Amino acid sequence: MPLRLESVSHTFRGGRQLFRDVSWVFEEGRIHGVVGPSGCGKSTLLAIVAGMLAPTSGRVVRPSASTIAWVFQNPIGVARRSAIDHVALPLLARGWTRREAEREADELLEAFGLAGRRRAEFGELSGGEAQRLMLARGIASHPTVLLIDEPTAQLDRATSSEVNGVLGRLAGRGTAVIVATHDETTRRCCSRILDLGQPQ
Protein backbone atom coordinates (compact mmCIF):
# COMPACT_ATOMS: atom_id res chain seq x y z
CA MET A 1 0.00 0.00 0.00
CA PRO A 2 1.61 3.31 -1.08
CA LEU A 3 1.82 6.49 0.97
CA ARG A 4 -0.76 9.05 -0.10
CA LEU A 5 -1.91 12.61 0.53
CA GLU A 6 -5.62 13.33 0.90
CA SER A 7 -6.67 16.97 0.38
CA VAL A 8 -3.58 18.27 2.20
CA SER A 9 -3.36 22.04 2.70
CA HIS A 10 -0.92 24.20 4.62
CA THR A 11 -1.29 27.79 5.81
CA PHE A 12 1.12 29.84 7.92
CA ARG A 13 -0.09 31.44 11.15
CA GLY A 14 -0.24 34.83 9.49
CA GLY A 15 -2.75 33.46 7.01
CA ARG A 16 -0.54 32.98 3.95
CA GLN A 17 -1.49 29.77 2.20
CA LEU A 18 1.25 27.68 0.65
CA PHE A 19 -0.86 25.04 -1.09
CA ARG A 20 -4.41 23.72 -0.93
CA ASP A 21 -6.15 20.36 -1.34
CA VAL A 22 -3.14 18.39 -2.56
CA SER A 23 -4.05 14.75 -3.19
CA TRP A 24 -1.37 12.40 -4.48
CA VAL A 25 -0.37 8.75 -4.40
CA PHE A 26 3.38 8.16 -4.04
CA GLU A 27 3.75 4.86 -5.85
CA GLU A 28 6.68 2.64 -4.97
CA GLY A 29 9.38 2.16 -7.56
CA ARG A 30 8.80 5.59 -9.10
CA ILE A 31 10.43 9.02 -8.82
CA HIS A 32 7.95 11.77 -7.99
CA GLY A 33 9.08 15.34 -8.63
CA VAL A 34 7.63 18.10 -6.44
CA VAL A 35 8.05 21.34 -8.39
CA GLY A 36 6.87 24.94 -8.37
CA PRO A 37 8.20 28.47 -7.88
CA SER A 38 10.33 29.44 -4.89
CA GLY A 39 8.22 29.78 -1.76
CA CYS A 40 5.40 27.53 -2.97
CA GLY A 41 6.01 24.99 -0.20
CA LYS A 42 8.09 22.18 -1.71
CA SER A 43 10.22 21.62 1.40
CA THR A 44 7.17 22.11 3.63
CA LEU A 45 5.37 19.34 1.76
CA LEU A 46 8.34 17.02 2.30
CA ALA A 47 8.22 17.81 6.03
CA ILE A 48 4.51 16.95 6.06
CA VAL A 49 5.16 13.66 4.24
CA ALA A 50 7.90 12.86 6.77
CA GLY A 51 5.56 13.54 9.70
CA MET A 52 7.73 16.40 10.99
CA LEU A 53 4.96 18.94 10.36
CA ALA A 54 1.18 18.59 10.53
CA PRO A 55 -0.86 19.92 7.61
CA THR A 56 -3.41 22.65 8.28
CA SER A 57 -6.06 20.36 6.83
CA GLY A 58 -6.24 17.00 5.11
CA ARG A 59 -4.21 13.95 6.05
CA VAL A 60 -1.21 11.83 5.14
CA VAL A 61 -1.91 8.10 4.98
CA ARG A 62 1.22 6.09 5.73
CA PRO A 63 1.30 2.28 5.60
CA SER A 64 1.99 0.85 9.06
CA ALA A 65 5.32 -0.64 7.96
CA SER A 66 6.54 2.45 6.11
CA THR A 67 9.98 3.92 6.81
CA ILE A 68 11.10 7.32 5.59
CA ALA A 69 14.61 8.64 4.92
CA TRP A 70 15.49 12.23 4.01
CA VAL A 71 18.47 13.47 1.98
CA PHE A 72 18.83 17.18 2.70
CA GLN A 73 19.79 19.96 0.32
CA ASN A 74 23.29 20.34 1.78
CA PRO A 75 25.26 17.09 2.29
CA ILE A 76 25.90 16.59 6.00
CA GLY A 77 28.58 14.14 7.12
CA VAL A 78 31.42 13.63 9.56
CA ALA A 79 34.53 15.22 8.07
CA ARG A 80 37.02 12.56 9.24
CA ARG A 81 34.78 9.53 8.69
CA SER A 82 35.26 7.47 5.52
CA ALA A 83 32.71 7.16 2.74
CA ILE A 84 32.15 3.47 3.42
CA ASP A 85 31.51 4.17 7.10
CA HIS A 86 28.81 6.69 6.21
CA VAL A 87 26.97 4.13 4.10
CA ALA A 88 27.54 1.17 6.45
CA LEU A 89 26.27 2.97 9.56
CA PRO A 90 22.50 2.61 8.83
CA LEU A 91 23.04 -1.10 8.21
CA LEU A 92 25.01 -1.57 11.44
CA ALA A 93 22.21 0.26 13.27
CA ARG A 94 19.80 -2.40 11.97
CA GLY A 95 21.92 -5.17 13.47
CA TRP A 96 23.98 -6.22 10.46
CA THR A 97 27.50 -7.47 11.08
CA ARG A 98 30.39 -5.25 10.00
CA ARG A 99 31.21 -7.67 7.18
CA GLU A 100 27.62 -7.73 5.91
CA ALA A 101 27.28 -3.96 6.19
CA GLU A 102 30.51 -3.24 4.33
CA ARG A 103 29.61 -5.69 1.56
CA GLU A 104 26.28 -3.93 1.02
CA ALA A 105 27.93 -0.51 1.36
CA ASP A 106 30.50 -1.41 -1.28
CA GLU A 107 27.73 -2.39 -3.70
CA LEU A 108 25.98 0.93 -3.13
CA LEU A 109 29.18 2.93 -3.48
CA GLU A 110 29.84 1.20 -6.79
CA ALA A 111 26.26 1.88 -7.95
CA PHE A 112 26.75 5.57 -7.25
CA GLY A 113 30.16 5.79 -8.88
CA LEU A 114 32.09 6.01 -5.60
CA ALA A 115 33.87 2.65 -5.47
CA GLY A 116 37.24 4.35 -5.83
CA ARG A 117 36.47 6.70 -2.94
CA ARG A 118 35.41 4.13 -0.33
CA ARG A 119 38.23 5.03 2.07
CA ALA A 120 38.19 8.78 1.35
CA GLU A 121 37.18 10.95 4.29
CA PHE A 122 33.96 12.93 3.90
CA GLY A 123 35.88 16.20 4.09
CA GLU A 124 37.93 15.16 1.04
CA LEU A 125 34.93 14.61 -1.23
CA SER A 126 33.79 17.03 -3.92
CA GLY A 127 30.28 18.47 -3.74
CA GLY A 128 28.94 15.96 -6.25
CA GLU A 129 30.63 13.05 -4.52
CA ALA A 130 29.26 14.12 -1.14
CA GLN A 131 25.71 14.41 -2.50
CA ARG A 132 25.95 11.00 -4.18
CA LEU A 133 27.25 9.57 -0.92
CA MET A 134 24.19 10.92 0.91
CA LEU A 135 21.93 9.32 -1.70
CA ALA A 136 23.73 5.99 -1.23
CA ARG A 137 23.36 6.29 2.54
CA GLY A 138 19.67 7.09 2.14
CA ILE A 139 19.15 3.89 0.17
CA ALA A 140 21.22 1.91 2.71
CA SER A 141 18.55 2.54 5.34
CA HIS A 142 16.15 0.55 3.11
CA PRO A 143 13.34 3.12 3.30
CA THR A 144 9.95 2.64 1.69
CA VAL A 145 9.94 6.40 1.01
CA LEU A 146 13.07 8.47 0.22
CA LEU A 147 12.75 12.27 0.37
CA ILE A 148 15.33 14.36 -1.49
CA ASP A 149 15.28 18.14 -1.05
CA GLU A 150 16.79 20.21 -3.89
CA PRO A 151 19.69 17.80 -4.60
CA THR A 152 21.42 20.12 -7.09
CA ALA A 153 20.66 23.56 -5.58
CA GLN A 154 24.19 24.22 -4.31
CA LEU A 155 26.07 22.49 -7.15
CA ASP A 156 27.64 23.70 -10.39
CA ARG A 157 26.37 22.38 -13.72
CA ALA A 158 28.88 19.55 -14.08
CA THR A 159 28.34 18.36 -10.50
CA SER A 160 24.56 18.65 -10.89
CA SER A 161 24.82 16.39 -13.92
CA GLU A 162 26.61 13.78 -11.78
CA VAL A 163 23.82 13.80 -9.22
CA ASN A 164 21.01 13.78 -11.78
CA GLY A 165 22.68 10.82 -13.43
CA VAL A 166 22.08 8.62 -10.38
CA LEU A 167 18.51 9.66 -9.57
CA GLY A 168 17.13 7.10 -11.99
CA ARG A 169 18.73 4.30 -9.98
CA LEU A 170 17.10 5.27 -6.70
CA ALA A 171 13.68 3.77 -7.31
CA GLY A 172 15.11 0.45 -8.49
CA ARG A 173 14.76 -1.16 -5.05
CA GLY A 174 11.02 -0.54 -4.86
CA THR A 175 11.35 2.74 -2.98
CA ALA A 176 9.00 5.68 -3.57
CA VAL A 177 11.40 8.55 -4.28
CA ILE A 178 10.13 12.12 -3.77
CA VAL A 179 12.36 14.90 -5.10
CA ALA A 180 11.67 18.59 -4.41
CA THR A 181 13.42 20.55 -7.15
CA HIS A 182 13.45 23.75 -9.19
CA ASP A 183 15.99 22.27 -11.63
CA GLU A 184 14.53 21.46 -15.05
CA THR A 185 17.12 18.74 -15.68
CA THR A 186 16.30 17.05 -12.37
CA ARG A 187 12.61 17.35 -13.23
CA ARG A 188 13.20 15.36 -16.42
CA CYS A 189 14.61 12.51 -14.31
CA CYS A 190 11.23 12.10 -12.57
CA SER A 191 8.48 9.79 -13.77
CA ARG A 192 5.62 11.81 -12.21
CA ILE A 193 5.36 15.53 -11.44
CA LEU A 194 3.39 17.19 -8.63
CA ASP A 195 3.35 20.92 -9.46
CA LEU A 196 2.52 23.04 -6.39
CA GLY A 197 2.41 26.13 -8.60
CA GLN A 198 -0.69 24.81 -10.36
CA PRO A 199 -4.23 24.60 -8.94
CA GLN A 200 -4.89 21.12 -7.55
Alpha helices, DSSP H only, in the chain? 42-50, 83-93, 98-111, 127-140, 157-170, 184-188
Confidence (pLDDT) at 170: 74
Confidence grade of residue 80 (pLDDT, cut at 50, 70, 90): very high
CB 122 within 8 A of CB 80: yes
Q: What is the CA radius of gyration of the chain?
A: 17
Single out the residue of 151, 157, 142 nearest to residue 189, CA to CA: 151
Whether the pLDDT of residue 161 is over 90: the answer is no
CA 69 to chain centre: 7
For residues 4 and 26, what is the distance between their CA atoms, to the nearest angstrom? 6
Confidence (pLDDT) at 197: 82
Confidence (pLDDT) at 177: 92
3-state SS class at 160: helix
For residues 150 and 172, what is the distance between their CA atoms, to the nearest angstrom? 20
- pLDDT tens digits for 38-69? 889 999 999 999 999 999 999 999 988 889 99
Whether the pLDDT of residue 200 is over 60: the answer is no
Single out the residue of 157, 167, 186, 162 nearest to residue 35, CA to CA: 186
151 or 34, which is more confident: 34
Confidence (pLDDT) at 123: 96
Confidence (pLDDT) at 167: 77
Structural domains in the chain, CATH included, are 1-67+143-200 (3.40.50.300), 79-140 (no CATH)
Counting beta carbons within 10 angstroms of the beta carbon of residue 19, is it exposed (0 to 12), middle (13 to 18) or buried (19 or more)? buried
For residues 193 and 80, what is the distance between their CA atoms, to the nearest angstrom? 38
For residues 188 and 13, what is the distance between their CA atoms, to the nearest angstrom? 35
Confidence (pLDDT) at 156: 79
Strands across the sheet containing 17-26: 17-26, 3-11, 57-61
CB 31 within 8 A of CB 176: no
- pLDDT tens digits for 175-199? 899 999 988 888 988 999 999 987 5
